[in-house]
Structure 1
């Protein structure tokens, strides 16, 4: 059987949801069916070692991601950006000198931000698939004209009902509607349960106070600033608890400095990036998602797999995953909403206990096997 040749593009394999999902997919598809080239803008990230060795990895740059503007870093940033722009304008150079191939059957954009690059591919006959992991309809920079460009791809993979409905409403024809497919992110729950028991990296002391854990890249979309403001308000009302934020990002230093300025080091713990965050999730009392917007928050599935009581703002994917509030508390997407949810969990232990009882009985619909099979069906369809 002739193997299908696939090119997959993504920025890097850093610690993000889309990156995790992609690597999980790659680890669970058969080598005998596909020949895969993975092209990274930046060859870095925690998931890089997990890519199966039969997959060919190409890259535009090496080194770490640069998130600051220190004088000695600016030339590197300018060089990287210039190279990417040149290859976007002249894609033939990329396929001739870096990939050295022009015979792909399928080209997948695993991060929607690279849509334009793949649509300009010189391989005109390849199937173009864009995988949308964010609720673009709530991000101001994505105008209607910009969103319509997604229909230039042959297939749009939407990871939640919210995202699918957004594109359905935008579609102008049956042909465009037929391009949209909802596909749950492939998540390996067995891997999550196994890693949660590995405590060698757990450098946080869990005391008597109830602990809310939040996990994610530290930048404004995740709403960790709102979480900290609510934490202060609840402490002032005498509701003792702690916050554990696991993650790193360009907002980390700003939030960490705020914590120190307000002398909150004893109650807010900025853990930073952890290769394995699951032990923190397992040991904490509650999980909280304070996001301003999401696509389909993978971390919610991880909390569900570990049977944690959940508070989540009403962003894309949450109602779907929490079954309209049956499996976790959905709150208004605001600081006030986060406050009301946390206060209820701290004031009445019966509330989070009820969610635990439901989770113990529930079979979750987000199975690894179903998601991988559906993705392969999309790739294999002529």
Structure 2
């Protein structure tokens, strides 16, 4: 049987939800059926080591990701931007010198930000797929005109009902609607459970107080500024609890300064990046998501796998994950909403137990095998 040749493009394999989902997908693909080239703009990230050996890993630039704006980093960042732009402006250079004139059956943008790169491909006969992993309707610069460009792809994969409905509203005919497919991100349940068993060295908190945990790159979209304000408000009201923030990013120092200014050093901790946050998640009492927008927050799926009560702002993907509130609190996407959600867990112990029971009795839809099988069917049939 002739193998289908696939090109997949993504920025890097840093510690993000979309990157982890892609690697989960690659690890589950049959090597006897596909020949896959994975092209990174930047050869960097935690998940590179998890890419299966049979995947052809290619890159434009090799080096660490720069998340600061220090003066000495500006020339390097400028060079990287121009180098990547060169291949976008002159794609024949990419396909000749990096991809060695290889012909592909399918080309996939693994995140929405790579849409121009795939659409600029000189290989007009290849089928094009875009995998939308974020709430593009709330991402700066993604106007309706820009999002309309996605309908130039043969298939548009979206990971939530909200994104599906948004694309349907922009579609101008039934053919465009038919190109949009909702698909659950593949989550490796067994891997999550196994990693959660690791021992924690130097746990930063007392084990006697209710503990909220949140995991994610420290960007403004995550709403950690709102979360700290809510934490402070609840503490001032006498509702004792602890807050653990796991992750790094360019907003890290701003959030840490806010924590210190609010005088929360005893009750809130920022651990920075962890390659395995699951033991902390397992040990915590609740998971809190304060994001302003997301696509499909993979960490919520993993919290459910670990049977953790969740309170989350009403962002894309949350209603799918929490089954419209059956499996956890869905709050208004505001500081007041975050406050109400956390307060419910601190004042009503039965609520958390109710969610735990519901989670334990529910067959979660984002099972790895089912999602990968769905993705394979789409690739095979396109």
TM norm structure 1? 0.98
Residues 206 and 280 (structure 1), Cα distance of their counterparts in 2 relative to 1, 3 Å cut: farther
Counterpart for residue 48 of structure 1: 48
In the alignment, the residues of structure 1 paired with residue 297 and residue 202 of structure 2 have an alpha-carbon distance, to the nearest angstrom, of 23
The number of equivalent residue pairs is: 382
In the alignment, the residues of structure 2 paired with residue 113 and residue 201 of structure 1 have an alpha-carbon distance, to the nearest angstrom, of 38
**Maintained 8 Å contact 2:225/2:258:** no
1:336 matched to 2:336? The reply is yes
**Maintained 8 Å contact 1:42/1:62:** yes
SS at the partner of 2:46? coil
Identify the range of structure 1 (44-53 vs 101-110) with the bigger mean alpha-carbon deviation: 101-110
1:264-343 → structure 2 map (5 Å cutoff): 264-343=264-343
1:203 positional shift: 4.2
In the alignment, the residues of structure 2 paired with residue 195 and residue 206 of structure 1 have an alpha-carbon distance, to the nearest angstrom, of 23
**Maintained 8 Å contact 2:200/2:279:** no
1:136-151 → structure 2 map (5 Å cutoff): 136-151=136-151
In the alignment, the residues of structure 1 paired with residue 157 and residue 202 of structure 2 have an alpha-carbon distance, to the nearest angstrom, of 36
In the alignment, the residues of structure 2 paired with residue 101 and residue 15 of structure 1 have an alpha-carbon distance, to the nearest angstrom, of 31
Residues 253 and 191 (structure 1), Cα distance of their counterparts in 2 relative to 1, 3 Å cut: same
SS at the partner of 2:166? helix
Residues 147 and 245 (structure 1), Cα distance of their counterparts in 2 relative to 1, 3 Å cut: same
**Maintained 8 Å contact 1:164/1:182:** yes
1:148-297 → structure 2 map (5 Å cutoff): 148-200=148-200, 203-297=203-297
**Structure 2: where are the runs of 5+ without partners?**
none
SS at the partner of 2:36? strand
**Structure 1: where are the runs of 5+ without partners?**
none
TM norm structure 2? 0.98
List structure 1 segments (4+ residues) > 4 angstroms apart after TM superposition.
200-203
1:102 positional shift: 3.3
1:23-38 → structure 2 map (5 Å cutoff): 23-38=23-38
SS at the partner of 1:74? helix
SS at the partner of 2:28? coil
Identify the range of structure 1 (60-69 vs 303-312) with the bigger mean alpha-carbon deviation: 60-69
In the alignment, the residues of structure 1 paired with residue 176 and residue 64 of structure 2 have an alpha-carbon distance, to the nearest angstrom, of 39
Identify the range of structure 1 (302-311 vs 70-79) with the bigger mean alpha-carbon deviation: 70-79
SS at the partner of 1:101? coil
How large is the Cα RMSD of the aligned pairs?
1.1
